[in-house]
């Protein structure tokens, strides 16, 4: 049975275009084949769903006729070939157009963020999102820490502030695309004439150009450079959790906003402690005498040493709880506990007197 495009993206049939785009971006980032746990088949399925639901005409046909409504030939529900990568009304043997496919929208959404439009209607992309990783110690995870990293990325030109024009230069219509922001290339083949529109290489889709380009960025509006970024790692962050810093990704085109920076945090393991949710677990070795008779001992926690009572008759493997000495919850309220697993030390060598005492104990216990 064919899958429902709305179910694939996890949205309702009344979802807005913004909701559909947001759902696509989240799922595409999650399942992209280049990711460690990416799923190529799922990624393609998500693209197919978005390619239809993001186009109002295709979505309307899909809602009315269901799966396949946008990929039928003449005589189908739409009365012509309107599906696939050719867009509505785009398939013609003598004028083979690749415009209006929706695929450039999908991939610019995934890798370049949102889009703006130049005067000629061509797309100018917001900056790409950037992903990076950092490693912190177990102690830094417990208390939280402020980190500073250096990221090499496209930065808005410091001289022209991203416009691409020299200071004081006048802005005029691009002579290459005549203000449309796009150039069209036509190729003859045995199948007919192929026409493909692309973003103008001179004005980068803006449709406008400066009389003199910026001498620093050569008109690109951005340069590759390094930026020092400081951010807070919250106390109790989990291993593998990602911190999002809005606007700290790559610079956008033609004054469009930058992308975001996603920092995945990895926590080093500890020799004494283990994390279980908001609780911290450690083990404590005590003697047979302490277990049998009871004692008060010092237990090392992530907040420092704590005195803990060992009741008489404590058994090996028994777990004691020290309340509130675990991790502060990242949800902003409450703290976990420190759990102590008891181990009984059995000496490998005994003195003659120790052996006599243990034998006497065995006689008294009848075992």
What is the CATH classification number for the domain harbouring 355? 2.60.260.20
CA-based nearest residue to 49, from 65, 27, 29, 33: 27
Give the integer Cα–Cα distance in Å for 105 and 56.
13
358 within some domain:
yes
> What pTM was estimated for this model as a whole?
0.56
DSSP string, 129-188: PEEEEEEE-HHHHHH-EEEEEEEEEEEE-TTTTTS-BPTTPPEEE-TTTTTSSEEEEEEE
Per-residue pLDDT reduced to its tens digit, 173-226: 888 888 888 888 877 766 667 777 788 877 767 787 787 888 888 877 888 999
List alpha helices for the chain, DSSP H: 5-9, 17-31, 40-53, 56-65, 103-112, 138-143, 288-293, 352-365
- The residue assigned the tokens 């946008």 is 70
Q: DSSP assignment, residue 98? A: -
139 within some domain:
no
Mean pLDDT of 127-145: 94
Q: Residue 112 pLDDT more than 80?
A: no
pLDDT at 76: 41
pLDDT at 111: 40
Mean pLDDT of 273-278: 94
48 within some domain:
yes
User: Could you give the percent of the chain with pLDDT greater than 70?
Assistant: 79
200 within some domain:
no
What is the CATH classification number for the domain harbouring 34? 1.10.287.110
Give the integer Cα–Cα distance in Å for 62 and 9.
15
160 within some domain:
no
Mean pLDDT of 295-304: 95
Beta bridge partner(s), residue 283 = 341
Helix (H, G, I), strand (E, B) or coil at 246: coil
pLDDT at 331: 67
19 within some domain:
yes
Q: Residue 127 pLDDT more than 80?
A: yes
Measure the CA angle with vertex 295, ends 289 and 301; round to 5°.
120
pLDDT at 268: 95
pLDDT at 255: 65
Mean pLDDT of 338-343: 96
Give the integer Cα–Cα distance in Å for 301 and 143.
13
Q: Sorting pLDDT into bands at 50, 70 and 90, what band is 119?
A: very low
Q: Residue 80 pLDDT more than 70?
A: no
pLDDT at 223: 87
For the record, the structure tokens of 78 come out as 């739409």
Phi, psi for residue 62 in degrees, rounded to 5: -65, -45
**Could you tell me how many residues make up the chain?**
367
Domain count, the chain: 2
360 within some domain:
yes
Cβ–Cβ < 8 Å for 326, 353: no
Q: Which domain holds residue 52?
A: 1-89+99-112
Per-residue pLDDT reduced to its tens digit, 20-29: 988 888 888 7
pLDDT at 220: 76
Q: Residue 130 pLDDT more than 90?
A: yes
Neighbours of 89 (CB within 10 A): 14
For 336, residues 6+ apart whose C-beta sits below 8 A from its C-beta are 277, 278, 279, 280, 326, 327, 329
pLDDT at 160: 86
Q: Residue 234 pLDDT more than 70?
A: yes
256 within some domain:
no
Mean pLDDT of 59-80: 62
Please say whether the dihedral angle defined by the alpha carbons of residues 325, 331, 334 and 336, taken in this order, is positive or negative: negative
pLDDT at 367: 58
Q: Sorting pLDDT into bands at 50, 70 and 90, what band is 95?
A: very low
- Write 35-41 long-range contacts (CB < 8 A, 24+): none
Q: Residue 7 pLDDT more than 70?
A: yes
Q: 112, 145, 169: which is the final residue of a domain?
A: 112
For the record, the structure tokens of 60 come out as 């309307």
CA-based nearest residue to 312, from 298, 299, 294: 294
More confident residue, 159 or 145: 145
Q: Which of 70-84, 194-208, 220-234 has the lowest mean pLDDT?
A: 70-84
Q: Residue 93 pLDDT more than 70?
A: no
């Amino acid at each position: 049975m064919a899958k429902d495009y709305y179910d694939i993206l996890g949205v309702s049939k009344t979802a807005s275009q913004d909701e559909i785009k947001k759902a696509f971006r989240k799922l595409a980032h999650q399942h992209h084949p280049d990711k460690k746990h990416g799923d190529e088949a799922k990624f393609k399925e998500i693209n197919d769903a978005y390619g239809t639901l993001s186009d109002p005409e295709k979505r309307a046909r899909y809602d009315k006729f269901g799966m396949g409504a946008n990929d039928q030939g003449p005589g189908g529900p739409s009365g012509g070939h309107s599906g696939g990568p050719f867009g509505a009304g785009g398939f013609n043997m003598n004028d083979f157009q690749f415009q209006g496919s929706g695929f450039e929208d999908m991939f610019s959404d995934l890798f370049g963020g949102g889009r703006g439009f130049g005067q000629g209607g061509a797309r100018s992309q917001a900056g790409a999102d950037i992903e990076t990783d950092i490693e912190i110690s177990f102690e830094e995870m417990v208390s939280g820490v402020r980190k500073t990293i250096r990221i090499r990325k496209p930065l808005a030109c410091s001289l022209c502030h991203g416009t691409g024009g020299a200071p004081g230069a006048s802005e005029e219509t691009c002579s290459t695309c005549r203000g449309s922001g796009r150039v069209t290339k036509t190729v003859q083949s045995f199948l007919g004439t192929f026409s493909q529109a692309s973003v103008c290489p001179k004005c980068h889709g803006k449709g406008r150009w400066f009389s003199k380009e910026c001498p620093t960025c050569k008109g690109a509006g951005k340069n590759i450079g390094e930026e020092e970024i400081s951010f807070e790692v919250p106390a109790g962050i989990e291993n593998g959790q990602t911190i999002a810093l809005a606007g700290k990704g790559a610079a956008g085109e033609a004054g469009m906003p930058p992308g975001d920076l996603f920092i995945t945090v990895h926590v080093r393991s500890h020799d004494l402690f283990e994390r279980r949710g908001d609780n911290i677990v450690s083990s404590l070795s005590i003697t047979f005498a302490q277990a049998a008779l009871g004692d008060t001992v010092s237990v090392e926690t992530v907040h420092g040493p704590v005195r803990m009572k060992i009741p008489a008759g404590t058994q090996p493997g028994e777990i004691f709880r020290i309340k509130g000495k675990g991790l502060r919850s990242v949800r902003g309220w409450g703290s976990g506990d420190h759990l102590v697993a008891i181990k009984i030390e059995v000496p490998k060598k005994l003195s003659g007197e120790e052996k006599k005492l243990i034998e006497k104990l065995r006689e008294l216990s009848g075992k």
